[in-house]
Amino acid sequence: MASFTGYIVEVTEEFIRVAPRPDTDRFDGIVFRMDEQFTHREPLVVGQQVRVKHDEQLTRSLPPQATAHRIDVL
């Protein structure tokens, strides 16, 4: 299990994109898809700083993608 800390720059029902800085290019950061068992009680919004625990298997797409297992709002 690995973690990535950054700012949410895009939110949809299926994924969030997290980048190291809040002002970023659309290909920067990592797209995190939600694990099937993922349950997050707080609403996630653009601009929040988060720590995402994910599997270490990143795709080679731009931006890379991984599966989020846990998201902590900082």
Reported pTM: 0.88
Instruction: Extract the runs of DSSP E, i.e. beta strands, from the chain.
Output: 2-11, 15-19, 30-34, 49-54, 65-73
Reading the block at residue 69, the tokens are 């297992």
What local confidence, expressed as pLDDT, does residue 46 receive? 95
Domains of the chain and any CATH numbers = 2-73 (2.40.50.140)
pLDDT digits (tens, 9 = 90+) for 2-48: 999 999 999 998 899 999 999 988 889 999 998 766 666 678 999 99
